[in-house]
Amino acid sequence: MPALTFSSVSKSFGSSEVISDFTAEIPDREFLVLLGPSGCGKSTMLRMIAGLIDISSGDLLFDGRRVNELEPRERNIAFVFQSYALYPHLTVRANIAFPLLMDRFRWWQHIPGIWSIERRRAMRLPEVARKVAEIAEIMELTPLLDRRPKTLSGGQRQRVALARALVRDPSIYLLDEPLSNLDAKLRSQMRIEISTMYQKVGKTFVYVTHDQVEAMTMGTRIVLLDGGIIQQQGTPTEIYERPANAFVARFIGSPAMNLIPVEVAHGGVRIPDAGILPVSDAPVAAGQSVTLGVRAEKIALAASGETDSTGTSRSSSASAPRRSWGSGSGMRRPRRSVPARCATSTTRASPVRSTSPSAIRARSA
Ligand SMILES: Nc1ncnc2c1ncn2[C@@H]1O[C@H](COP(=O)(O)OP(=O)(O)OP(=O)(O)O)[C@@H](O)[C@H]1O
Ligand SMILES: [Mg+2]
């Protein structure tokens, strides 16, 4: 049974719909990345999963059970907010311990006055102290445990927020751009920490980011959103290799996929000023305009006069782009066949095969 099921989930603020018809099934123990540009609705999705905002229409299920009306505390989730949401009057130690105290406290222990006495007492319990010390060590927060959030840098605060989420044992972890304020080095370190933590705890993670590198390196599954609409969902490899449309092709990969307007011709596609590129199974009839997508690493240079697997003879017309790619001993040998993708902005990608010089010319144009 999937851990998370979204059935036509939509969210509107007033008359503006920010999530439309979100449908997905997320198997247990996936590391799901919600990916997309700023404002596409990633945090809104996470807040609906957490129960912090209502779902306007559709159903959300945890392990097959509808949770639309459940209170956040009934959902057994841990949430790392984009804005940290630390308690300013509590130390780092108390902030990290906070979810552990909430899990064990009864109603009367929340009464003001009693709460601070009970909190101090609970903080000294060996199992609480041990868990806090353990997670602080992993997050490199041990020297900061007695400081208050306002004395910490943005990156340190973010690590405290992460530690607070990871200290508990929830069924789902929700993380909203948890690494956005860290420098490049710490960011890549923390990516590894979170991935290790994910493997260790064996729970479902939902991780929001607009950084496709983060998504590709951390996620076991990606849902790519634009304007509140799912553009594609699948494994990182599926999305990279078979982008569903031009938006996905542009968004995923660094450098981005080259998108070249071409016209379908008999036996291939006509690239402006470059001739016919042979295509094994063009998706539409000859004469139609489509967009040819080619990943840079799928292109190899061939020596003049060599023949590729399609039987296309190479001509000296490749000489100009060759110069722009380097020459002499640095030149790569051609591959026998080079897969690429051909897609229009509305149709699914279809495979093409070629190493013809015209592809190389088109790439350098
Ligand atoms: N409470 C609200 N009232 C009205 N509109 C809202 C509210 N919360 C979010 N929105 C709108 O919903 C859209 C999606 O916002 P959301 O915060 O989910 O985007 P995001 O993908 O997380 O962006 P970012 O990457 O910048 O954090 C935005 O246009 C935002 O202005
Ligand atoms: Mg956001």
The answer as to whether 251 is a domain residue is: no
Tokens of 194: 């979170």
Atom of ligand 1 at shortest range from CA of 82: 27
Q: Which of 15, 34, 43, 80 best tests ligand 1's pocket when mutated (most atoms within 8 Å of CB)? A: 43
Residue 64 shares a structural domain with residue 200: yes
> What is the pLDDT at residue 336?
32
CATH of the domain at 232: 3.40.50.300
pLDDT at 355: 36
Q: Cα dist. 166→148, 173, 199 in Å? A: 19, 8, 13
Q: How many CB atoms lie within 10 A of CB 186?
A: 17
Residue range 56-64: mean pLDDT, rounded: 96
CB 292 within 8 A of CB 335: no
Q: Are 271 and 262 in contact (CB under 8 A)?
A: yes
- 333 and 215 in a single domain? The answer is no
Which is more confident, 235 or 311? 235
Considering just the CA atoms, what is the radius of gyration of the chain in Å? 26
Q: Which domain holds residue 59?
A: 4-242
pLDDT tops 50 at residue 75: yes
- Looking at 215, 242, 269, the residue that finishes a domain is 242
Q: Phi and psi dihedrals of 146, rounded to 5?
A: -100, 5
Which pLDDT value is given to residue 201?
82
In-domain check, residue 248? no
SS3 (DSSP) at 11: strand
> Residue 190 C-alpha to ligand 2 middle, in angstroms?
19
Q: Are 342 and 350 in contact (CB under 8 A)?
A: yes
Q: Band the pLDDT of 225: cuts 50, 70, 90.
A: very high
What's the pTM?
0.78
Q: Find the range with the poorest average confidence among 22-36, 117-131, 262-276, 319-333.
A: 319-333
Domain-embedded: residue 191 = yes
Q: What is the pLDDT of residues 159-211, one digit of tens each?
A: 899 899 888 888 899 999 988 878 888 888 888 888 988 888 888 999 999 99
To test ligand 1's pocket by mutation, which of 13, 16, 210 has the most ligand atoms within 8 angstroms of CB? 13
What are the C-alpha distances in Å from 51 to residues 56, 174, 281? 12, 12, 47
Residue 40 CA: nearest ligand 1 atom is 21
What residues have a C-beta under 5 A from ligand 2, the ion?
43
DSSP-assigned letters across all residues of 96-129: HHHHHHHHH--GGGGSTTHHHHHHHHHHTSHHHH
More confident residue, 249 or 303: 249
Judge whether 347 lies within some domain: yes
Q: In total, how many domains does the chain have?
A: 2
Model confidence at 329, in pLDDT bands (50, 70, 90)?
Answer: very low
> Looking at ligand 1, which residue's alpha carbon is closest to its atom 29?
39
- Ligand 2: centre distance to CA 208 (Å): 8
Mean pLDDT of 46-71: 95
Measuring CA to CA, which residue among 47, 49, 48, 39 is closest to residue 18? 39
Report the nearest-CA residue for atom 9 of ligand 1: 44
Q: Does 294 have pLDDT greater than 80?
A: yes
The answer on 262 and 285 residing in a single domain is yes
**Sheet with strand 4-13: strands edge to edge:** 16-26, 4-13, 57-62, 65-66
Task: Please list, in sequence order, all residues whose beta carbon lies within 8 angstroms of the beta carbon of residue 197, skipping any fewer than 6 positions away.
Answer: 138, 166
Same domain, 304 and 234: no
Of all protein residues, the one whose alpha carbon is nearest to atom 25 of ligand 1 is 38
| Cα four-point dihedral sign 45, 50, 55, 58 | positive
Single residue among 212, 242, 272 that ends a domain in this structure? 242
Take atom 12 of ligand 1 and give the residue whose Cα is closest: 18
Do 32 and 70 lie in one domain? The reply is yes
pLDDT band at 44 (very low <50, low <70, confident <90, very high): very high
Alpha carbon 242 to chain centroid, angstroms: 16
Pocket of ligand 1 (CB under 6 A): 13, 18, 36, 38-44, 82, 210
Residue 64 lies in a domain: yes
